[in-house]
Structure 1
Amino acid sequence: MVVDEDLLFADEEEFEPAVREPQRWRILIVDDEEEVHTVTRLVLNDFTFEGRKLDLISAYSGKESLELLRDTEDIAVVLLDVVMEDNHAGLEVARRIREDLNNPFTRIILRTGQPGQAPENKVISELDINDYKQKTELTAQKLFVTMTTALRSFRDLKTIETNRNRLLQLAMSVAHQIRNRTMSIAGFANIAVRELMAGEDVVSHLDTIRTEASRLEAMVASVSDFASLSRGAKEDLLLKPVIDEAYAATEKKLASKEISFADVATLSVNVNDLRIEADRDLIVRMLQELLMNAVVFRNEDCHITITAEPLGEGCILKIKDNGVGMSPETVSYIFDPFFSSLPDGVGMGLCTVRKIVDEHGWEISVSSTEHKGSTFEIVIPFLSGRAPREENKQG
């Protein structure tokens, strides 16, 4: 780790675990027998997947379950009884989840104590459910395996959907940006032609065309760079050397703009020797973009702090600055492609940060106050060498 007057590392100390925890997986238990809810909660009480615990929600009828599914976002798995209000209430719930609620993501695990009411072959072939279990065969170990498989499937489907939506957003943003630049270029070219024919000076118009062409080239380069970001193999990494590398990369990028990091900002780091599993190049890039953002939107006496605190099986990484800050409205747009409050900004830096966070399955949030600064918090659900408990303990 490079240490000098401008890169200050606080004395190491023992951190108290952070209060915040990674977002829990929402699981809906649908059964008309209270004992089933009690046993399921007991068995899954300590279950985790990718460092995230379960939020177990209970419904005691098909009608109640559909109301909860309609009103609650991102229910990952439904453990669904067949016989409730009537002999086929659970099957009707499964059908309506897919058809009426138009929900292809939630994983449906049918659990029945009366297999004769819902023959497995018939149910699997006619309904879009993901697993079928008899209650008598669903031991604790099998429930762990079933839950892990279902959550992995839900995670992958949501990732695909998120990437699809963001690709659409990116495509629309690119089209908008290209249209603006080409219209400007065409407009000033037409003016230049008319004035040139009239014997007037057209240098200013040509300069505008050149500027717009340069902006278009920068936009295309940024999109190409963004599209190339893809998580490679994860490594066991100490955070301190990674931050050191990001600092050096930021210094180099600022130097190309004739800005010295040491002259405009100081950096303090305290990460308590924590280790994470990540793609080294991507996390360095993520930290570089966040450091660049803090420097670009700095106040006088700019100070940036990077800390990491234990959080359950993982940690929470915080990048805090005392810069110009943002309004709530601005915060809501900062991760969108090409959003920038600078007239000459490309607006892909924080969009890149979000993509890298998503590639790792982490979470990012921002708090900011105008004229006081911003804090980016990244929740890393589990640390290097500490695999999720359902893989270590439940087997």
Structure 2
Amino acid sequence: MIKEWDNIELDYDFLNEKEENYVKTYGSYKVLISDDEPEVHNVTKMILKDFVFENHTLEFLDAYSEAETIKAFEQHKDIAVLFQDVVMEKNSTGLHIINYLRHEMRNQMTRIILRTGQPGEAPEETVIKDYDINDYCLKTDLTVARLKTIMLTALRGYRDIIRLDRYRRGLEKIIETSANLFTHNTLSDFLTSILNHLSGFYYETEGIMYIREETEEYNHNGFVTMEQSNAPIVVAATGNYVRYIGRNIKEIDELSSIYQWMLTAEDENSQITFVGKGFIIRNNSNEAPNNYIFIEGDKELYNFDLIKLFLSNYSVALDNYLLNNMIFNAQKEIIVTLGGIAEKHFDETGEHVDRVSEMMYNFARILDYPSAECEKVKLASILHDIGKIGLPDSILKKPGKLTEEEFNIIKEHTKMGYEMLSKSNLEILHMASEIALCHHEKYDGTGYPRGLKGEEIPEISRMLAIIDVYDAMCHKRVYKEASSHKEALEYIESHKDQHFDRRLADIFFNNYEDITV
């Protein structure tokens, strides 16, 4: 190997300096020097030790063989620039490394400077064309100015590639997030999800290493306020602000600066403003006026172009969510009212409906139903006896044993309930109609009204059969006294595979305390 670097006077004192003397708080770009000559490493680092690009310094990594170079890339996914020698163990080692990096590791980000002392081993035009490198140079031509110019060009290229990749991934994230905005059942869950998504639009550490104090922790802390009864209430929060959920922001000393900004902000067109130790977002929602989001964080860390793009979707999503939530709550209120009317028709308290719906919700959760489905099960279960509205009081409230004819009339409430509910196109009422029709079917086929057997009976109706019998036995009715919990459980245990689905009955027993109310 030709010793091109012998005539340079070296000063190695800088290698003994502590890192904090030259690493800026903004971070550093990683530079890998792959060369089998230690002098090349030392000289390169000496020339570039004070190099700064856009407030970022350089962090040097060293590799002296092909294996060490590959290992460095496996350990560091964010190497910005590679200085690669052509001839190392073999005449083609450098080219083999580059080929492996680009094609096997699929690394298209790292900028590559190929250096050689033996130009005949790798023709310049062929190498640049076939190996996707940034620059190809002879070691003898590398002056201080030339080396710094090469580094500047390489880092610009790396920065732009990383930026484009981040925007691509950011847009993918916005699309993915927007598609999942309505998977949350409560407003708090919805807004917390929005908060978490917004907190995620920060500049990732891939490509740039942000240097922080050892004691410093970085969490996504933030909150959302919404005007309720003319007061700004914290309706959702993450991290350190969770303890403030439900409180008026003007009564929280820690948030006084943010509240003052909300009172005095004059520029209504300013969507994002830095206040205190973070930034506050004014959301321009039609259905939720005076809605603000606050997220802790340094201005330099966040990609506000993506945040603004996401916010345009968020405002529309929040309006739609509140409208849908209002419609859902209206439906819920109507269902609860109907269920109460039906229950009080034959039970003065009407508490049976409430208990059954709560236990059905708990049962559905134990069975890992999706959250939204659990809510539907809870509401639909309220209407399981809605058909009893059509039955005469003389039979419903008869204190003694029913005759066979009277019992046949009682059976009709399943069909009546189905007829009342099945004509609706609402999914929740369709579920309720199925429950109303089938909740007196028995697993062995001896139930009514259709004599369904086994899994012919919808699972929700098989669940309700257990819950309905358990609650009916444990509470007093006009025609009977209450049984003990133990007696109710013994009845269910003794009627598995007859009245009840054995699998569901076992799950009920194993999770008894979590299901019953």
Range class of TM-score, shorter chain: 0.3 to 0.5
TM-score by length of 1: 0.48
TM-score by length of 2: 0.37
Structure with higher strand content: 1
- Which of the two has higher C-alpha Rg? 2
Structure with higher helix content: 2
